Structure 1
Amino acid sequence: MSKDLEKNHSELIYDSDVSSAEAYLQNELLKEQDKDIKYRSMGWVKTAFLLLSEYICLAIMSFPWSYSVLGLIPGLIITVFVALTVLYTGRIIGDYCARYPHLTNVCDIGQHLFWNQKWAWWLTALCFIINNTLIQGLHSLVGAKYLNTVSNHGACSVAFAVVASIICFIFSLPRTFSHMSLVGIFSAVTMFLAVLLSLIFAGIQEHPDKYVETAPVVYRLWPEKGTSFVSGCAAMLNIVYTFVGQITYPSFISEMKNPKDFKKALNVVTTIEVIVFALAGSIIYVYVGDEYITAPAFGSLSGHYKIIAFSFAIPTIIFLGALYSNVSSQFIYFQIFKPNSIHRNSHTAKGWITWVLLNAIFWILAFIIAEVIPFFSDLLSLMSSLFDCWFGFVFWGVAYIRIKQAKYKDQYQGFINFYRILTLSEKFNLIINLGLIGCGIFIFGPGTYASVDSIVLSYQADDYGKVFSCASNGI
């Protein structure tokens, strides 16, 4: 095995052919054969369950709210469109990671994409950690929201958030994604049941929560006249935020025995996503209507229906926060202990102490951020516009171009000549990927403006609570 295949971040291979990629992968599998902790141990089925646990999540229950703003037909169109872009870019990621198996996370890929510059690795790493930690913070708050709901505010919300964070921390501790996927199966199944029960309860309940006779249930096929750009963009970003999970794909693929099988998992999961997301968004919205819709939609269910459906979401609330902590901790862990370190693949005291401390640090940070920032819900829209534009669109449009440049590396000089030597299908795909880059730039520009404007408007309306507030956030 060439030593070039084991260079560190500052010396990543910029060009790779199929034979060298396969040789590198086989060498990695051989090195792990006699190790206590084996990372490359997942097949495509376990990967599919891991992806399902990431996507069949609480955010599904905010789709009815998005449809109430966008209208049913535009909401469904945007849902399908975003799903197809994620499927398309996910397949590019699969190809990229199969060609360059030494790139084990999105930060390595960020450096690799942008001229192998170290600044690209550091900038991607910063966004990667912030994104994951904010998602952890969301799950800390949602855990407190659930506990407040079922206990009728039986304790201070901060105390409930602490409890939720501690539970999530415990479930963050498995060392490999293969082990995490086993919990993920249960998480995805219970969340699916939560969504299914919500659909049923929305249809059979006498009326939505807080119903009044003077305001009947009404839904719209198109946006209400006068819907602002800010509210429409926020609803669109909510859908984008739910689908755009590509930031974790390279980390998952890095633990697959055969990275080429990632596409199988992605195809299955995307099909399930579109069906579940579209049905949940449309059916609950139609039965609840504009006046009574909440995000998450559990709050639109009346009485015990709300508690029952929301309770089935507990495993997802815990697991998905734990998953993002696990991804971040593994990323830092691998920077601390290099590939030849005994602490990577063996159960050493130093290794486990480091692993536990990393997860604990991320959960402490997530809890503090979630409690200190009063506009945390709007912060997620801002996060989507700032980060998802790159990790969901721009990166992978550039990745397609890089793959084709590697294929034709000895046959072109300049972009125009590069375009001329592409096949007809490659030219078509190039145009699609340039369009994806354009979508990312739109989300970054106007999307960020809309998110910031929403925060300003909410401040003016005094919609935000106080720092470390004991007030109930139950639904």
Structure 2
Amino acid sequence: MSTFPGPMAVTAPTEQIRETVASPEETRKMTEDGAHPGIRQRQWGLEARLDPTVTFEEYTYWAKIERELEDEDRHIHQTVESGGPLGYIKSYFTKNAYEDAKVHDSRELQIHEESSKWNEKQAAVASDSDKGTLGPIPPSNTHDLDAEWRTAARALRNAGWGAIFYLITTDILGWSQTPYVFANTGYGLGVGIFLLMGIAAFASGIMIWRTFLGLDSARYPIMSFGDPFFRLYGPKMRHFINFMQSLQQFLSVAVLCLGNTGIIAQLAGSVNLCYIVCAVISLVVGMASGYMRSLKHLGWFCNFSVWINIVTFIIICVAAAKHGPDPTAAVNNGILPKAWANAATMAPVKTFIDTPPAEYQPTDSNLFAAQFNGINSMVYAYSGAVLFVAFLSEMRRPNDFWKGLLVAQTFITVVYIFFGAFIYNYYGQYSYSNVNQSVNPQNLQIVGNVLSLLTGWLAIFLYFNVGMKTIYLEVGQEIFKLPPIASKKGKFCWWGLGPVYWIVAFVVSMSVPEFSAFTNFVGGLFGLNFTYSFSGIMYLAYKIQDGARLPGEGFDPATGETTRFDSGIKRWIRGFMKTWYISVPVFIFTGSGLAASGMGTWAAVSALEAAFGPGGSVVTSWTCVNPYYSG
């Protein structure tokens, strides 16, 4: 039995019922005759998702129908999803797993089935409000446009939960920074915080997932992280989220440029290659990615990068156990005594259960700030929740997202703790934030650095593409009325703005050359908020607005109107009180995320001051001094 909600205490007039089955010509005549009841004719699809006249109740109404229809067509994609991650791996070698699963079903048969389902639902809705006066509503012509649109929209969503496991682990798996976390916190706090942050990251994913399920539909799809905020808080909040996301992606590009510059400088240390030249090389290679507007050109490289990470992971573990660390990178890019930079004069490796003392801290002698620097790096490794909405928008059945999220977060947490503790045991205070640069002997370090350089450039391409598209679409097209990105003029605008983007990122990365502290700053200010705070703010608004409904309120599909009996702060307070058992924990969770972001950002700034202030130990990047030259 359908659980679709009918119109709340509203009886649809005969004219309105007539309009639901009227042809466009009949609708025009009703308007001319004065009999038209004023039903709003919606535009559906990607543009309609930002229609300011659509209410929260209308979004949730169609989302509930969408979820039921997804349950009903589960059998279509069962061959992909039933296999979980292994099913996804198998389906990866097919052109389109969804098309393979339904190869015996013709398009016409699908449209007919969808039309029948949709008409049954519409009839059920109408009969709830005017029992006995309506039978099933027939399509107005031979093509059911509603069903055809939904079929087309659903055809774009092919991913199963196995694919989500793959995407999350590929995006978030920042294992190379985990030994540095232990160097700041020690074993005890490191393991504890990794577990806590892993559980919190899973909770954030669940909150994003539940909000998506409640607001997304084929009529009004959710495509980006800013879309739920538009529906819950309005366009200003969406612009703020898009601005923050664009700034995060931009700074992530700058961080990766700086990291790759350091790798190039270390590779060229034997010939004393000028540091600025190393940075320019990183800039030129990055700018080459500006000519690619589509990520499809990087698909195979993305998958190849996973295997590169696995090979690098094994190399580092074996090298650490057999040869110990190369202290150069950690000493030259932190506050450890400079005398330790040479293998002959370096202090012995030391590890700690508790927080390491000041003389063994890599970036800040203030122990409280040092602990938060470790947490910032941890969050930077976990951050990726900003892409969960995009992952969900690709799923054939987003109800199953929790499966991929649970398996991925469990796997990630185990890998982080194992690798971080294992390498810290052998590298101790010399565990640099880019652990490849601490590998010893030099031949293995070179191999690891080259592999890390490849994956780093790939990450730069991805971050630039996503960040530049967000800026172009949400700022360029929407505010400055630039031509569509897919048009010929848009292509030239993209090519013209890309170098500007890269040059600004280059200047920022050269101005803040302390890689660890810069990474921690981005993690504290953006990673913490997008991973923990913003998901709580999103879910809290959804639960409050959903819980604030009064009897008789709701969306009426027959008239296209929403009934509310009050608004404003009174409604928000009522929604909070009615859902207190969820709202209070989420409120505390969100507040904790904001507080951690504030303290984490302070700790990162403190580390930058320690590195660049009076007596600071970091050489500015605006010189030719190569910190890895040993001649």
**2:583 is equivalent to residue 454 of structure 1:** no
Does the 8 Å contact 2:287/2:499 carry over to 1?
yes
Deviations for 1:246-268, whole angstroms, at most 9, x for unmatched residues?
A: 22322343444544444343233
Q: TM-score, normalised by structure 1?
A: 0.83
**Alignment correspondent of 1:217:** 349
Greater RCO (CA < 8 Å, at least 6 residues apart): 1
**Alignment correspondent of 1:36:** none
Query: How far does residue 198 in structure 1 lie from its aligned partner after superposition?
Result: 0.6
**Alignment correspondent of 2:438:** 300
Deviations for 1:10-55, whole angstroms, at most 9, x for unmatched residues?
A: 556434226347399984762697xxxxx75655444444433322
Query: How far does residue 133 in structure 1 lie from its aligned partner after superposition?
Result: 0.7
Question: 3-state SS of the aligned residue for 1:3?
Answer: coil
CA gap 1:26/1:472 in 2 versus in 1, 3 angstroms: farther
**Structure 1: which amino acid aligns with 2:50?**
N
Structure 2 residue ranges without an equivalent (≥5): 1-40, 70-145, 328-341, 359-365, 552-569
The separation in 1 between residues aligned to 2:296 and 2:433, in whole angstroms, is 32
**Alignment correspondent of 1:202:** 320
Query: How far does residue 67 in structure 1 lie from its aligned partner after superposition?
Result: 0.6
**Alignment correspondent of 2:311:** 193
Deviations for 1:336-380, whole angstroms, at most 9, x for unmatched residues?
A: 568xx9956x6x433433444454443232122112335564233
RMSD across aligned positions (CA): 3.4
**Alignment correspondent of 2:594:** 441
**Alignment correspondent of 1:8:** 50
**Structure 2: which amino acid aligns with 1:249?**
F
Query: How far does residue 137 in structure 1 lie from its aligned partner after superposition?
Result: 0.9
The separation in 2 between residues aligned to 1:299 and 1:128, in whole angstroms, is 29
**Structure 1: which amino acid aligns with 2:434?**
P
Question: 3-state SS of the aligned residue for 1:312?
Answer: helix
The separation in 1 between residues aligned to 2:231 and 2:538, in whole angstroms, is 9
**2:198 is equivalent to residue 158 of structure 1:** no
The separation in 1 between residues aligned to 2:376 and 2:501, in whole angstroms, is 25
**Alignment correspondent of 1:373:** 512
CA gap 1:54/1:364 in 2 versus in 1, 3 angstroms: farther
The separation in 2 between residues aligned to 1:469 and 1:253, in whole angstroms, is 46
The separation in 2 between residues aligned to 1:244 and 1:72, in whole angstroms, is 22
**Structure 1: which amino acid aligns with 2:416?**
F
Larger CA deviation: 66-75 vs 215-224: 215-224
Does the 8 Å contact 2:547/2:576 carry over to 1?
no
**Alignment correspondent of 2:185:** 70
Does the 8 Å contact 1:70/1:232 carry over to 2?
yes
Does the 8 Å contact 1:17/1:99 carry over to 2?
yes
The separation in 1 between residues aligned to 2:215 and 2:507, in whole angstroms, is 37
Query: How far does residue 245 in structure 1 lie from its aligned partner after superposition?
Result: 1.9
CA gap 1:315/1:270 in 2 versus in 1, 3 angstroms: farther
- Number of aligned positions between the proteins: 457
**2:622 is equivalent to residue 468 of structure 1:** yes
Query: How far does residue 281 in structure 1 lie from its aligned partner after superposition?
Result: 0.7
Aligned mate of 1:133, from 250, 254, 264: 250
**Alignment correspondent of 2:562:** none
The separation in 2 between residues aligned to 1:454 and 1:123, in whole angstroms, is 28
Query: How far does residue 466 in structure 1 lie from its aligned partner after superposition?
Result: 2.8
**Alignment correspondent of 2:10:** none
Does the 8 Å contact 1:72/1:221 carry over to 2?
yes
CA gap 1:81/1:243 in 2 versus in 1, 3 angstroms: same
**Structure 1: which amino acid aligns with 2:615?**
A
**Alignment correspondent of 2:194:** 79
CA gap 1:215/1:377 in 2 versus in 1, 3 angstroms: closer
Does the 8 Å contact 2:204/2:535 carry over to 1?
yes
- Larger Rg, first or second structure (1 or 2): 2
**Structure 2: which amino acid aligns with 1:187?**
S
Does the 8 Å contact 2:194/2:417 carry over to 1?
yes
Aligned mate of 1:312, from 451, 456, 479: 451
**Alignment correspondent of 2:228:** 109
The separation in 1 between residues aligned to 2:507 and 2:147, in whole angstroms, is 40
Q: TM-score, normalised by structure 2?
A: 0.64
The separation in 2 between residues aligned to 1:54 and 1:172, in whole angstroms, is 21
Does the 8 Å contact 1:389/1:440 carry over to 2?
yes
The separation in 2 between residues aligned to 1:201 and 1:56, in whole angstroms, is 21
Does the 8 Å contact 2:379/2:523 carry over to 1?
yes
The separation in 1 between residues aligned to 2:190 and 2:309, in whole angstroms, is 22
**Structure 2: which amino acid aligns with 1:17?**
T
The separation in 2 between residues aligned to 1:316 and 1:409, in whole angstroms, is 48
Q: Percent sequence identity over matched residues? A: 18
**Alignment correspondent of 2:388:** 249
CA gap 1:206/1:94 in 2 versus in 1, 3 angstroms: closer
Does the 8 Å contact 1:248/1:327 carry over to 2?
no
Query: How far does residue 241 in structure 1 lie from its aligned partner after superposition?
Result: 1.8
**Alignment correspondent of 1:19:** 62
**Structure 2: which amino acid aligns with 1:83?**
G
Does the 8 Å contact 2:165/2:407 carry over to 1?
yes
